Amino acid sequence: MLDWCFGPQWRWRLKRFFRNGKVTILCLLLTVIVIRGNLGAGRFGTPQQDFIEIRDHFYSSGHRSEPRRVLEEAQTTATATTTNDGDSNSYEQFDINKILVDEGEDEKPDPNKPYTLGPKISDWDEQRAEWLEKNPNFPNFIGPNKPRVLLVTGSSPKPCENQVGDHYLLKSIKNKIDYCRLHGVEVFYNMALLDAEMAGFWAKLPLIRKLLLSHPEVEFLWWMDSDAMFTDMAFEVPWDRYKDHNFVMHGWDEMIYDQKNWIGLNTGSFLLRNCQWSLDILDAWAPMGPKGKVREEAGKILTRELKDRPVFEADDQSAMVYLLATQRDKWGEKVYLENAYYLHGYWGILVDRYEEMMENYHPGLGDHRWPLVTHFVGCKPCGKFGDYSVERCLKQMDRAFNFGDNQILQIYGFTHTTLASRRVKRTRNETSNPLEVKDELGLLHPAFKAVKVSSS
């Protein structure tokens, strides 16, 4: 026994023990690190989270926590920002998910049945005509050439992911309220997702159908995206031009029917008449919409068939281009692709020219000289990332808003100090004879708002 413990063998055994031990310990260390790296060790989190926490510890939390909320997932935000329990009156670190309750189940669609927007209606024109006759108090024309128009727009019921997205949505709806007040158009702001299958840009289809059927007194439904703003407050849509058409979109015939270009028209701002034809085209439009496999596959078809379309799931605009290009005989006659004025105006080519427009032209033109609508496609101020630089988008949206707002303010004798400024300055002094003052654009009591004088 003693011989085994002490003696030349002892050193050798010891050395062997250490050598094996080295290897064992290395293996153990390896295992621990792998596990730690992948699963995390309880409250210490994964190494990446550690890194983030260490980084935050060294930088002031005020600066970093805000942009992190902008660009990271809500979960990380909830774990990373420590709630100040004693400060519950402060709005600064509030997480909306604490109060919103997601209850109930989504309707599960039958996978065997093809998607429909609703039960097929074939006699809508007759139903509607009968209703209008029985309800003379709700005429579909409110003036000799003026149909009753409902402007429909909307946004998500949850707060924007971006810090300032909601502010721009607010400005956008104020802009629409102003235009619609001047032009006698009603506004419907939607914040409800009527059909979970048609989420995202397709959500407008079930909404439009529902509104057409629920408001027979409405002659034209005007869909407008939340990122589109009115920049010509004096321009009245030439309703007469469309008396033989049911669907008016901004676009070019050649780009759709000849080139099949995916941006040959724009579905961010369009007019749809309340009639059977519209219900039919909505039904024909919808099948590419249901999310999941259907939308993905449809996206591939569209990318293949349409010119210049990038690869992504099917969107309503491409689907409409495809529908018109392939079924021109069926639908083309009643579709008017308007390009005489900017029913939709791509912002990129307009926003830098506002000063030039103010110098050379005047409101009421609606076209490239003074666009009716400036549409901020691709900016996505409510989301996390857009296709353009954040700075350019937000600054230009401010300018477009002020450009439109100036036309409203001038009615009351004010204007923004510059197109970039929130401040306003007086352009007309107050007088003791306010009724003699006429605003330049004649928007205070415009002709298109005049009520029919009853012959008495």
Partner 1 sequence: MGHDTGTPEKRRALPTTTANGGRATTARVPRGRQIHRTFNNIKITVLCGLVTILVLRGYIGLNLGTSDADAVNRHLIEETNRILAEIRSDKEPDDPEDQSESEINPNVTYALGPKITNWDQERKVWLDQNQQFPSHVNGKPRILLVTGSPPGPCDNAIGDHYLLKGTKNKIDYCRLHGIEILYNMAHLDKELAGYWAKLPLIRRLLLSHPEVEWIWWMDSDALFTDMVFEIPLPKYDGYNMVIHGYPDLLFNQKSWIALNTGSFLFRNCQWSLDLLDEWAPMGPKGKIRDEAGKILTANLKGRPAFEADDQSALIYLLISKKDQWMNKVFVENSYYLHGYWAGLVDRYEEMIEKYHPGLGDERWPFITHFVGCKPCGSYGDYPVERCLSSMERAFNFADNQVLELYGFRHRGLLSPKIKRIRNETATPLEFVDQFDIRRPVHGSNGSRS
**SS (HEC) of 243-282:** CCCCEEEEECHHHHHHCCECCCEEEEEEEEECCHHHHHHH
Backbone angles phi, psi at 186, to 5 degrees: -90, 155
What is the contact mask toward partner 1 in residues 171 to 190, using x (rule: CB under 8 A)? x-xx--xx--x--x-xxxx-
> Given the complex with partner 1, which of 167 and 328 has the nearer CB atom?
167
241 vs 422, which CB is nearer to partner 1?
422
For residue 211, the surrounding DSSP H or E stretch is helix 204-214
Closer to partner 1 by CB, 191 or 311: give it.
191
Give the one residue of 60, 75, 82, 90 binding partner 1; rule: CB under 8 A.
Answer: 90
Nearer to partner 1 (CB atom), residue 101 or residue 311: 101
* 262/312 Cα distance (integer angstroms): 12
- For partner 1, which residue of 121, 129, 294, 358 counts as binding (CB under 8 A)? 121
- Is the CB of residue 266 less than 8 Å from the CB of residue 344? yes
Indicate whether 80 belongs to the interface with partner 1 (CB under 8 A): no
Rule CB under 8 A: say whether 453 interacts with partner 1.
Answer: yes
Site string for partner 1, 375-414 (x = CB under 8 A): ----------x---xxx--xx--x------x---x-xxxx
From the CA atom positions of the chain, what is the Rg in Å? 31
74 binds partner 1 per the rule CB under 8 A:
no
- The piece of 166-174, 265-273, 332-340, 354-362 that touches partner 1 (CB under 8 A) is 166-174
From 3, 85, 103, 110, residue interacting with partner 1 (rule: CB under 8 A): 103
CB 144, min distance to partner 1, A = 12
Of 143, 144, 130, 283, nearest in space to 205 by CA: 283
CA distances from 445 to 148, 177, 408, 441, 450 (A): 19, 16, 12, 10, 7
**For residue 137, what are the contacts with CB-CB under 8 A and spacing of at least 6?**
none
> Counting contacts by CB under 8 A, is residue 440 touching partner 1?
no
**137 forms part of the interface with partner 1 (CB under 8 A):** yes
User: Closest CB to partner 1 among 261 and 407?
Assistant: 407
Q: Is the Cβ of residue 262 or residue 347 nearer to partner 1 in the bound state?
A: 347
Pick the piece of the chain touching partner 1 (CB under 8 A) from 305-313, 340-348, 349-357, 424-432: 424-432
Binding mask 339-378 for partner 1 (x = CB under 8 A): ----------------------------------------
Strands annotated E in 366-449 = 373-375, 414-416, 424-426
CB atoms within 10 A of CB 219: 22
- For partner 1, give the closer residue by CB, 71 or 78: 71
Among 147, 149, 179, 194, binds partner 1 (CB under 8 A): 194
* Candidate ranges 100-108, 270-278, 337-345, 358-366; the one touching partner 1 (CB under 8 A): 100-108
Establish if 82 lies at the interface with partner 1 (CB under 8 A). no
DSSP 297-312: HHHHHHHHHSBT--SS
Q: Is the CB of 301 or the CB of 358 nearer to partner 1?
A: 358
Q: Environment class of residue 230 by beta-carbon count within 10 Å: exposed (0-12), middle (13-18) or buried (19+)?
A: buried
Q: Which is nearer to partner 1, 2 or 453 (CB)?
A: 453
Nearer to partner 1, 187 or 365 (CB): 187
Q: Which of residues 252-271 bind partner 1 (CB under 8 A)?
A: none
Within residues 5-64, the interface with partner 1 by CB under 8 A covers 9, 11-12, 15-16, 19-20, 22-23, 26-27, 29-30, 33-34, 36-37, 46-47, 50-51, 63-64
State the Cα–Cα distance between residues 424 and 428, nearest whole angstrom: 12
What SS3 state is found at 453? coil
Number of residues that bind partner 1 (CB under 8 A): 126
The token duo for 355 is 């000063």
Residue 191 sits in the site that holds partner 1 (CB under 8 A): yes
- The pairing of strands 186-190 and 149-154 is parallel
Residue among 12 and 340 whose Cβ is closer to partner 1: 12
**Which secondary-structure segment (H or E) carries 51?**
helix 47-58
- Strand positions, DSSP E, 138-280: 141-143, 146-147, 149-154, 186-190, 220-224, 228-230, 247-251, 265-273
Apex CA 296: angle with CA 295 and CA 298, to 5°? 65
